[in-house]
Structure 1
Amino acid sequence: MTITPPALSVFETTESEVRSYCRGWPAVFDRAQGSHITDEDGHTYLDFFAGAGSLNYGHNNPVLKRALIDYIERDGITHGLDMATSAKRAFLESFQNVILRPRDLPYKVMFPGPTGTNAVESALKLARKVKNRESVVSFTNAFHGMSLGSLAVTGNAFKRAGAGIPLVHGTPMPFDHYFDDKVPDFLWFERLLEDRGSGLNKPAAVIVETIQGEGGINVARPEWLRALSDLCHRHDMLLIVDDIQMGCGRTGPFFSFEEAGIVPDIVTVSKSISGYGLPMSLCLFRPELDVWEPGEHNGTFRGNNPAFVTAAAALNTYWADGQMEKQTLARGEQVEQALVGICSESAGGGAEFRGRGLVWGIEFHDKPRATAVCRRAFELGLLLETSGPESEVVKLLPALTVTPEELDEGLRTLDRAVRDTARVPAGV
């Protein structure tokens, strides 16, 4: 594919230097459908990025689009704060009947604002309010959002530095496999909790991702998560699972923690909960934790009714019969089989892969090569991004609705990109 980078334009002259994705993908995108996105010059790309996990059902999913158009055409409420609306009722009923009740999850539902970091902020705020403590424990390489409270429990040094002020009341602990399994799980954490001279203020909560997406596709073992849940219970700490990127079916089950058989005290959900890429987030928590006073936590855009409409349509279409989970796990096996070959042959032994469901990562020993692979993949018509503290991991995040043929096509393109970059000197 021959791509002509956009000429100097309003993006360079007017938009802030903070822009990032457009630098790696020098194209002006115009249309999208399913797993494909097309630029204004007519080049079509296979999308293994899926809006950073916000488009689990693909671009402009026809079922969700029809529900949205019908709602808009009848002049349904668009902006409703936290007023009771028919769209919100339909979503809550669907979420309760399709997701919560079948899993025997008792959660209350809070709409904290439009983004994932809004959900995390509300979860941290609630945990501190319930326990009347300030400290929250997070994990190495965690990412929980860009607002100050979320940054305080985020590991990435570059992201944290952007805060410009001290990030306090957060304490990092080693994530699963951090010491290459040479140290027993939670040895340091539990020792600090039990030692009155450790200097660790007793935490209100622990926040964790079951799979660290931005941190490099680091997968926590189910037994590690169960041990963490038990540790929190024994030491009177709330367990918060950040399911913003890995929830909504990304790992197979609707919630990523289901495989471990745990029931977190608080769960944050965003990205693909609307199903259509519309801003929406949830903070879920046990009923006994619902100690909020009316209006104590609010926000102008916490009631995105068009998002409620597409979210309800997504739940009723894809989660009522249990087939989506089976399909995602089958697609995951397809990816895993391909990555075995790519890492052993194309990468020349210089890479390893990990993941679950439809989230996978390839970590390159020559760290700059991951960026080179993504750049070459774009030239070949495939959208990929990097993750990890040094952008050393190529991240695969296709839509859950991707077909086996599209998946094969993307994996073949990835294979070629890996092979092509093997001919480039290390570090270039």
Structure 2
Amino acid sequence: MSAALPTFADLAARVAGGVMSRPRIAIIGAGSSGMAAAAEMLQRGLDPVLFEARSEPGGIWGKDPLSALYPDLVQSAAAQLPLSHAGAASWAAYTEQCLDTIKRQGLASRIFTSTKVLCVTPSLYDGGADLLIASASQAAAPLLRHFEHVVYAGGLYHTPQLPLIAGGANFAGRIIHSSDVRDLSRFVGQRVLIVGLGNTAMACAARLFPVAQQLVLSGRSPTWLVPRLLHGSPIDVATRALKETFRHSYQARLWDACREHGAIGHAVDPSSHEIDVGRQRITVSDSMLGPVRSGMVPLRPALAQVDQRTVYFVDGSSCEADVIVCCTGYRSQEILAEGSEPQQQLVGNVLHARYPGLWFTGAPALWGSPAPIAKKQGRLIAHAIDMGWGRDELAQAVRPYVNYDKAAARLPFGFEVADFSGYAHMVDQASAGPSGEPAPLAGDPVDYAG
């Protein structure tokens, strides 16, 4: 897919030839979020370029070896892409949808692959930011370019986050991250402990259960393991229907539905009925419900410490383990230059409150989104840039929906909205024209062919 796309060498040549003096919008990352934002901008006649560190677009789903995810992961991220079909997507299916999006949206000449943005130096005064751009292989001198607007769409899944485990230095086995669960032959006949009870943990558990001698799951927070379908509908659709129909007894009815379908609660008192998706984590897994319910895969509380081959939990229990798989997420990628303040609020969940012209999109959902949030965020960013909005104008536009404009705990991944439908509605209203209809497009997009 990357053969026809320009690279850093092409970028350097275009800069030397003066061609790159025109684009004023840089998008960091050519995954689903970056391409969705670029597509929305093109529809408004804006002129973005995208910088992708990998050798091909597609973000975490690309087949490039830089991807930290395991190849057979299946999620619903394809719903983020414009013109794509919502639903579960495999690696191959998502790659094809990326190619389809690039062709349909005219993005081919705007995506510079194998091109890494080393840091972003935003300006407090004249807006925009300076980007230090380099070849992913570091084989050529980097470039320093200024853009009026910079959209960070680099995603979250770059650097695996391994927790500090007490006694880990004395552990005689292996402590690995979930992204290393690739070659299953390394786990045959092994006693495996999985740290975490989220969707990634259950995906790893489903892969390792048939080959491991022993499999144990450990979680530190209240979690419900639920089936994919409730009353024949996907879990997110079913929960929304229950909330809309039974507003005052929603929690109790959701608990009854989940219990009827074999849901399992971990470290939660079932009699409390505390299973609200806004407060309790829900992990969806059909394949692991049976093994967990039968006791073949025991659930343990948080990990306390480890010794040679023994793992101890906070309740005093223990088990033997040869491998500890940490499904503990990823660290945020720091992109701001040293001296910039990393702790800031995002206006409308997209605009840096301190630096004008520094935007963020594609922040991860809590456990899945009923709406293509990346496309919505891209629409809001494109509309705000097209209208010349700054912080105050954007804040005014989203003020009626202040509940969906939450403070970012950390940059660039402070997206903490639980009500995705409400956030999507806010974006539609904030980016609408005076008549309430979507804002008119600005004519034919610029054909940036270099």
TM-score for the superposition, normalised by structure 1: 0.29
Q: Hey, which of these two has a bigger chunk of strand by percent?
A: 2
TM-score for the superposition, normalised by structure 2: 0.28
Higher Cα Rg: structure 1 or 2?
A: 2
Q: Hey, which of these two has a bigger chunk of helix by percent?
A: 1
Structure with larger RCO (C-alpha < 8 A, sep 6+): 1
